[in-house]
Structure 1
Amino acid sequence: MRESSVRRGLVAVAAAATVLMLGAQKAGDVPSALEADPAGWSDLLAPSGAGLDAWTREPIPGGGDLIESSPWKLDASTGVLSAVAPGADREWLRLDQVLLDFILHVEWRIVPDPAAKAPGGGVYVRNSNDAGKWHRAQLGDGKGGYLVGATYANQVAKPFNLEAEVKDQRVKPAGEWNTYELTCKGRSVTLWVNGAVANQWKGCGVPRGYIGLEVDGGRVEFRNVKLKSL
């Protein structure tokens, strides 16, 4: 009798643990492309590779001046890239390679700081070299997770903002890691955020361009910045 009671108790505990585990996942979550197929990815911050030698700091807007001291620091032991927003001066870190179709995987988090106002930044795809044409996945403290920018249309830069199309805010608060994946195929740009597609946009007017990172408020850390050509 005692053994049977113990067995029933263990079964109940296991069932409760399963319910808690499933409850921690959002309905409809799908794995990232990196999780689904880890083959064929290039680590863009690999300490054994070029590291930041493959990246260039560029001012926003293009043609301006950069502050003398770089805000970007790569920890070779952890592979974590961090930056503090350089005040009123804006800049982005651009990978020195023009890309066609690809998937970009980026993990990021905002470092908690009560003094930081509007901490955040962006992950760029399909940018022109001077960021005059830009397509950005917005980062923020418990917010963001949408595409915004200025794409090429009718020979001019046409602004766009897909924030209103986000149905489920999935970006985590400061201190927690987030994962973005941007898939670029021709005129299509898809943004996947922490388990689900947030934006699927087919209006990109730039078929090739640069990827990059920006911090425009507070301190942001990046890791596992990986690229897969399509």
Structure 2
Amino acid sequence: MTRWATLASALLVSAFAAAGAASGADGWITLFDGKNLDQWQGDGTATFKIEDGSVIAVDKKDPKAVAAYLVSKESFKDFEIRAEFWVSDDANSGIFVRNSDPKNISSKTGYEVNIFDTRPDPTYGTGAIVPFAKTLAVVKTGGKWNTYEIVVKGPKFTITLNGVKTVDGAENTDHAEGPIALQFGQGTVKFRKVEIKKL
């Protein structure tokens, strides 16, 4: 390898390190590994803190805010997400994708992959995509660690929760691209690992 090639390679590695994202040989990029929030920005409604390898929201600054959000700095179009989360039985949370308005996260500006075991209408509770894809199976997530696998390619969405498929190829074209947002709403909500692979 020439001196210039070695220098270019070193600069590339340095750039990835500076960004705080680790990209594996299989194409997976680590957005959160329990150590830092370099790939995320808060929405201004809470302070986000890392405890025991997990991120939580503390000290909500706006008492009128229903929820606080961590929003990815990068925007994504077609992708697969693996995310590990822990919620209390009474939690209301979710993972929002393709948010067309990052400053106004909601199910109207993006897609909410719901985490809400006690939702009065369970058809759009945990495992569903609010408001267009009902869950195919009831999966309770309170009081334990869980893994979401979210695949979004073109208009198609497939969701797997703890190995159970809850959405299978549902289609919607309302939002084409945008950042990811982690919701900290009601109850205790923790995320400890978030990875993404562009498709």
1:208 partner SS: coil
2:140 partner SS: coil
CA distance in 2, matches of 1:54, 1:207: 21
Question: Which consecutive residues of structure 1, in runs of 5 or more, have no partner in the other structure?
Answer: 1-37, 59-65, 113-117, 149-159
Q: CA deviation at 1:84?
A: 5.1
Deviation per residue, 1:18-74 (Å, 9 max, x gap): xxxxxxxxxxxxxxxxxxxx93211111366xx21321122xxxxxxx44x51x212
- Structure 2 residue 26 is the aligned partner of structure 1 residue 46: no
- Structure 2 residue 199 is the aligned partner of structure 1 residue 214: no
- Structure 2 residue 164 is the aligned partner of structure 1 residue 177: no
Q: Larger Cα Rg: Structure 1 or Structure 2?
A: 1
- Of 114, 128, 145, the match for 1:146: 128
Deviation per residue, 1:59-102 (Å, 9 max, x gap): xxxxxxx44x51x2123xx4311235945313311001011211
Identity across the alignment (%): 27
Query: Is the CA contact (8 Å cut-off) linking 1:127 and 1:210 kept in structure 2?
Result: yes
CA distance in 1, matches of 2:109, 2:143: 31
The one-letter code of the counterpart of 1:93 is L
- Of 42, 49, 62, the match for 1:73: 49
Question: Which consecutive residues of structure 2, in runs of 5 or more, have no partner in the other structure?
Answer: 1-24, 119-124
CA distance in 2, matches of 1:140, 1:53: 27
1:90-169 residue pairs with structure 2 within 5 A?
Answer: 90-111=67-88, 118-128=90-100, 129-130=102-103, 131=105, 133-141=109-117, 144-148=126-130, 160-163=131-134, 166-169=135-138
Query: Is the CA contact (8 Å cut-off) linking 2:54 and 2:192 kept in structure 1?
Result: yes
The 1:39/1:135 distance shift into structure 2, 3 A limit, reads same
2:38 partner SS: helix
Q: CA deviation at 1:170?
A: 1.8
The one-letter code of the counterpart of 1:43 is T
Query: Is the CA contact (8 Å cut-off) linking 2:110 and 2:175 kept in structure 1?
Result: no
The 1:107/1:85 distance shift into structure 2, 3 A limit, reads farther
The one-letter code of the counterpart of 2:49 is K
Query: Is the CA contact (8 Å cut-off) linking 1:171 and 1:193 kept in structure 2?
Result: no
- Of 44, 57, 63, the match for 1:83: 57
The one-letter code of the counterpart of 1:180 is Y
TM-score in terms of structure 1 length = 0.62
2:49 partner SS: strand
CA distance in 1, matches of 2:137, 2:34: 35
1:52 partner SS: coil
The one-letter code of the counterpart of 2:57 is A
TM-score in terms of structure 2 length = 0.71
CA distance in 2, matches of 1:169, 1:146: 9
Q: CA deviation at 1:140?
A: 2.5
Query: Is the CA contact (8 Å cut-off) linking 2:70 and 2:181 kept in structure 1?
Result: yes
Query: Is the CA contact (8 Å cut-off) linking 2:96 and 2:181 kept in structure 1?
Result: yes
